[in-house]
Chains A and B, each alone.
Chain A
Amino acid sequence: NAGVTQTPKFQVLKTGQSMTLQCAQDMNHNSMYWYRQDPGMGLRLIYYSASEGTTDKGEVPNGYNVSRLNKREFSLRLESAAPSQTSVYFCASCPGDSRNTEAFFGQGTRLTVV
């Protein structure tokens, strides 16, 4: 049981380059999330998807786009990377039902934009 799997684990981009961070969960969860973690700022929500086919902006969506490809997969795209997007990115999933609200996180993607 892999849980939440993120790829890649590390990435270095040049300013202006684009890339897609991949996330997949095998727990049949309805809700999926993308967070970024920066020193002293905790985890901030970028985008989330409450169910397959829906996506909504979080606290810091500028410069990012997302796709909920199916129930398992939720990708995050940086169209034109900027140094301010240097961060550790975490994908998370949650059952999204009234009985269980625990969020499960992936191992993270450490992104550096130079």
Chain B
Amino acid sequence: QQQVKQSPQSLIVQKGGIPIINCAYENTAFDYFPWYQQFPGKGPALLIAIRPDVSEKKEGRFTISFNKSAKQFSLHIMDSQPGDSATYFCAASGSFGNEKLTFGTGTRLTIIP
């Protein structure tokens, strides 16, 4: 069963636009929600992560919004650039000592000049 649902599957945005990728989870034991970025031929790399004690986290142009009651979280990319074109995965994991990540199905993002 898929415990983390991610949408959309693909997204095309013009440079400077704000792509938004959404994820929803089912397991209320999850308390760590990272986003990973993957370029072709490479392994995923951590982009930004949030824990449920805050509703928003910003790092540079990347923002995670978190809604604990709805069990949803999303990634926003401000002032998107062609170099942001990649596949983005949301993920979730449990408490300390049980860090195995459950991933969403991924979003292929293309930023057109």
Q: A40 near B9 (CB under 8 angstroms)? A: yes
- Give Cα A35 to B102, complex, Å: 10
Q: A42 near B104 (CB under 8 angstroms)? A: yes
The smallest C-beta distance from B60 to any residue of chain A, in angstroms, reads 17
Mostly, the B contact residues are loop
The smallest C-beta distance from A104 to any residue of chain B, in angstroms, reads 8
15 pairs, CB–CB < 8 Å, chain A vs chain B: A33-B100, A35-B103, A41-B105, A43-B89, A43-B103, A44-B103, A58-B100, A90-B43, A98-B96, A101-B32, A102-B49, A103-B101, A105-B36, A105-B43, A105-B44
Give chain B residues whose Cβ lies under 8 Å from the Cβ of A102.
34, 46, 49
Give chain B residues whose Cβ lies under 8 Å from the Cβ of A78.
none
User: What's the tally of chain B residues with a CB closer than 8 Å to chain A?
Assistant: 24
7 new A-B pairs (CB below 8 Å) besides A96-B97, A107-B41, A107-B43? A42-B105, A48-B100, A90-B43, A96-B99, A103-B99, A105-B45, A108-B41
B residues apposed to A, CB below 8 Å: 6, 9, 32, 34, 36, 41-46, 49, 89, 93, 96-97, 99-106
Mostly, the A contact residues are strand
User: What's the tally of chain A residues with a CB closer than 8 Å to chain B?
Assistant: 27
Q: A43 near B44 (CB under 8 angstroms)? A: yes
Q: B103 near A42 (CB under 8 angstroms)? A: yes
**Proximity bits, A7-36, B CB within 8 Å = 1, else 0:** 000000000000000000000000101010
